[in-house]
Amino acid sequence: MSQPRPTVRRRRLASLLVELREAAGKSMEDAAERIGCHKTKISRIENARLGVSLGELRDLLTFYGIDDASYIEELVNLARRGGERGWTRNLGATLPSYADHIDYEETANYIRSFQPLLIAGLLQTPDYARALYGANPEKFSSEQVDQYVHTRMQRQQVLERDDAPHLVIIEGEAALRNEVGGREVMAPQLDRLIESADRPNIDVQVLPFNGGAHVGLTGAFVLFGFPTPAFSDVVCVEHITGTLHMETTEEMRSYTLAFDSLRSLALSPAASLDLIRRVRNEL
């Protein structure tokens, strides 16, 4: 029986503990001696295969020379919630590629999404999402499609919270004009996009067909930013069989630069809204 995948929080804490230990010039043997355990335990903690007790964590942070009280409490809270997957725990094995992505959405305070061909998942209507799943050649059962659509709609609840993330979406004009599910599905989907663009925590811009050559021609991606240093920013690139997550400094730099470039080429929010309305009226 395979072990459950480590949660985003546990993986992030593990990564930070490696960084802090190495910055302090300590070895895994040193850390193990400090908290009175075998090196193997430190290895498992740093590989996110084992949680760390709060007492051990505080002891290790002191050993690594960390004295910023607020930062220590952030890491302690990260450890305390290390086993949580939020509502994704209910997905079971049927939607494994969703779990990490949903964890990022649940904990981010800033989400930037470039979607050249599709309406962003956080703004899709149920019928639009259903049409997308129905077009998959794997031919999902009606029960599977219902579950996938329900999951996508449940994801959108993050935008209703008092501390909802700031969502910035760049849609390609093709996403507006591709009649997913037909006109009867696309019309209310564009209405939803128009309504969403009026919300204070959502910015929608459209990259028009006449934008010419641009870095976004390589495909869609999502950037997640987090409110504390305990979470590094993450890039997500979705593909047919799952989602690739990247979080190195160089990867984030490249994708942030790409998003900023695309945003500068896109229409302003006001002009974007005008274009969305024009496309909607053509249906």
Task: Phi first, then psi: give them for residue 3, nearest 5 degrees.
Answer: -75, 145
Determine the pLDDT at residue 2. 47
Q: Which long-range contacts (CB under 8 A, 24 or more apart) does 215-221 make?
A: 215/258, 215/261, 215/262, 216/114, 216/116, 216/170, 216/172, 216/258, 216/262, 217/116, 219/116, 220/113, 220/114, 220/115, 220/116, 220/117, 220/118, 221/113, 221/114, 221/255, 221/258, 221/259
CA distances, 193 to each of 120, 176, 184, 196 (Å): 9, 10, 15, 5
Determine the pLDDT at residue 6. 67
Helix%, strand%, coil% for the chain, nearest 5: 55, 10, 30
Determine the pLDDT at residue 92. 46
- Between strands 202-207 and 166-172, the pairing is parallel
Q: List strand residue ranges (DSSP E) for 94-144, in order.
A: 110-115
Span(s) in the chain for CATH 3.30.870: 87-282
Determine the pLDDT at residue 81. 75
Q: Which residue has the tokens 């495909």?
A: 219
Contact yes or no for 154/97 (Cβ under 8 A): no
CA angle 191, 195, 197 (to 5 degrees): 115
Determine the pLDDT at residue 98. 66
Per-residue pLDDT of the chain (283 residues), as tens digits, is: 445 556 777 877 888 899 899 999 999 999 999 999 999 999 999 888 888 999 999 999 999 999 998 889 888 888 887 766 555 545 544 454 567 788 788 889 999 999 999 999 999 999 999 999 888 887 788 888 998 899 999 999 999 999 999 999 999 999 999 999 999 999 999 999 999 999 999 999 999 999 889 999 999 999 999 886 666 788 999 887 777 888 788 999 999 999 999 999 999 999 999 999 999 999 9
Span(s) in the chain for CATH 1.10.260.40: 8-80
Q: What is the pTM of this model?
A: 0.77
CA distances, 251 to each of 171, 210, 226, 237, 247 (Å): 22, 28, 16, 12, 6
Q: CATH: 3.30.70, 3.30.420, 3.40.50, 3.30.870. Which one for 87-282?
A: 3.30.870
Question: Residue 259: how many CA atoms within 13 Å on its side-chain side?
Answer: 22
**What homologous superfamily is domain 8-80 in, according to CATH?**
lambda repressor-like DNA-binding domains (1.10.260.40)
Determine the pLDDT at residue 90. 52
Determine the pLDDT at residue 88. 53
Q: Which long-range contacts (CB under 8 A, 24 or more apart) does 248-257 make?
A: 252/223, 255/221, 255/223, 256/223
